[in-house]
Copies of this chain bind each other. A is one copy, B any other.
Amino acid sequence: MTSDQQTLMKFSDIAMYMQPSAIRRLLKVTETPDLISFGGGLPNPESFPIKEIKEIFNELIETNGKKMLQYGATEGLTSLNLAISKMLKERENIVISKDELIQTTGSQEALYMIGKILANPNDYVFSEAPTYTGTISAFKANFIKMIGINMDNDGIDTNLLEKEIRNKKNAKLIYVIPNFQNPTGITMSLDRRKHLLEIASEYSIPIVEDDPYGALRYSGKKVPSIKSMDKEGLVIYLGTFSKILAPGFRLGYVAANKEVIEKLNLAKQAVDLASSTISQYIAEAYLSKGYLDRQLPKIIELYRHKRDLMLESMDKYFPKGVEWTRPEGGMFLWVTKKGANTDALFPKALEKKVAYVVGSAFYPDGDNHESMRLNFTYSGDNEIVEGIKRLAEVIS
């Protein structure tokens, strides 16, 4: 807006401070025909259990239609919280009662509300650098300051983290994605997870363990979740149905101690009252009928193949001097070329009809331009090979 234009509305300080997410801006640019996009964070629609969802919906609408279409409780459907409690015990060895759970409108709402209830404006939250862009948006919208801590192949540098926390008076939260991190694909080692818990305990700072991809492991050995080792109730665990059922339901959940759940409940009453009852009924049946157990191996097989295909193509086509991660699960790869500027390369990539997300989008301060994030779950097999070829030309 130029200075001689007058806005009709007087917006709040926060409204003037918020910026569109770089990813969302890029996605608008990338609605070009023939473009191969590794940019989005979308699950592959082939992974959606459409037949099962149809069966569940038709059964429920007959037997439970009136409840399924009515308002629901802010904390979510009791039967769904019970089913999640059972799933977390079986899959993650996380022992949590139904009263230590709350449903959210996707994990995004969980991230936003956690920032709101646990940090004041100008307080500090620590995260991996790079980290998920949606988390940066959620915390920024609460005027929270984020400090990114460097990672290596074992995850966040916990020694550096501890030093930074010691230096900051208003350190309020540690935010991490330990499994197949977004954007790097790196999995945090068991030692680092334990060290994180020690730091949380010593400085009385809660850990937010965001685990959207944990169930999507294609190789290697499972590492215990931080929450499963949490004896003091300091870990706030975030799960979602977006990647193991479908994102269209907008259904995530938080597992945390009752104090935190109670405050999240208050925040949710103000923010959106409750999440979709229909989504919750369907998710509950998906778990209790054992359909998740049946679907997960299919999703894993689909994505493992795509990951392998992308890695093979990169081995084959990428020039020397380019490095990339080899994730054991999840949805993303992280490509780095020392001295490159992926922001500057982006228009050239679009010319060659291939897209990625610029690495700078994943840094709270936006100040890192040598990397790019590639999604390997969404594109078709031929697109993966062809897209990597095109990208190789762009990088060369």
Contact = CB atoms under 8 A, between A and B. Distances in A.
A247 B71 CA distance: 5
A119 B15 CA distance: 9
Contact of A134 (B58, B266, B273): B273
B72 A232 contact: no
Nearest to A233: B8
A325 interface: no
A7 B259 contact: yes
Contacts of A134: 269, 273
Interface in A276-307: 276-279
B269 A271 contact: no
Interface residues of A, number: 80
A332 interface: no
Contact of A109 (B8, B9, B117, B271): B271
A53 interface: yes
Interface string A214-232: 0000000000000000001
Contacts of A345: none
A48 B65 contact: yes
A242 to B, nearest CB: 8
Given A9-B118, A24-B74, A119-B12, A272 B272 contact: yes
Interface stretch (A135-143, A145-153, A184-192, A352-360): A135-143
Copies in the complex: 2
A69 interface: yes
B20 A266 contact: yes
A204 interface: yes
A258 to B, nearest CB: 10
A45 B66 contact: yes
A234 B273 CA distance: 27
Give the one of A13, A18, A58, A118 with max B CB within 10 A.
A18
A116 B9 CA distance: 13
Interface string A113-138: 00011111001000000000010011
Interface of A: 7-15, 18-21, 24, 42-43, 45, 48, 50, 53-54, 57-58, 61, 65-72, 74, 104-106, 108-109, 112, 116-120, 123, 134, 137-138, 140-141, 172, 204, 206, 232-234, 242, 246-250, 257, 259-260, 263, 265-267, 269-279
